[in-house]
Amino acid sequence: MAEANYYKVSYVVEGGSHTGAIISTDEEPTVGDEVTFDGAVFLITEVTELMPPVDDFGFLHATVRYLRDLDE
């Protein structure tokens, strides 16, 4: 995937147990990373380019798997 300074990421949760999130980040997400949103921790299982990069921005889609609630 093309290099970018910032990444806008569409996170979709496997199995539809959560509707997912859109979050911007400085670091390109990779498979095996953990990401936190909406009070839960998720494991990234797939990353693909959602749209071609523009200016400093990359646009990615990540599939994630629910791991645990943050307060567990």
Partner 1 sequence: MSLRDLFKKVHLFSGLDADDLERLGEIAVWGEAEPGDILIRQNTTGTEMYVIASGSVQVFIEGFADEQSLVVLGRGQVVGEMTLVDHGYRSASVRVTEEGCTYYRIEREDIDALCTEREHIGYAIMRNLASDLAFKLRHRNLAAM
Smaller CB separation from partner 1, 2 or 22: 22
List interacting residues with partner 1 (CB under 8 A): 6, 8, 10, 12, 16, 18-24, 26, 37-39, 50-51, 54-57, 59, 61
Integer Cα distance of 64 and 39 in angstroms: 14
Residue whose CB is less far from partner 1, 22 or 30? 22
Q: What gap in Å lies between CA 9 and CA 25, rounded to an integer?
A: 8
Q: How far is the CB of 44 from partner 1 (least distance, A)?
A: 14
* Residue whose CB is less far from partner 1, 32 or 71: 71
Residues contacting 72, CB < 8 A, separation 6+: none
CB 23 within 8 Å of CB 9: yes
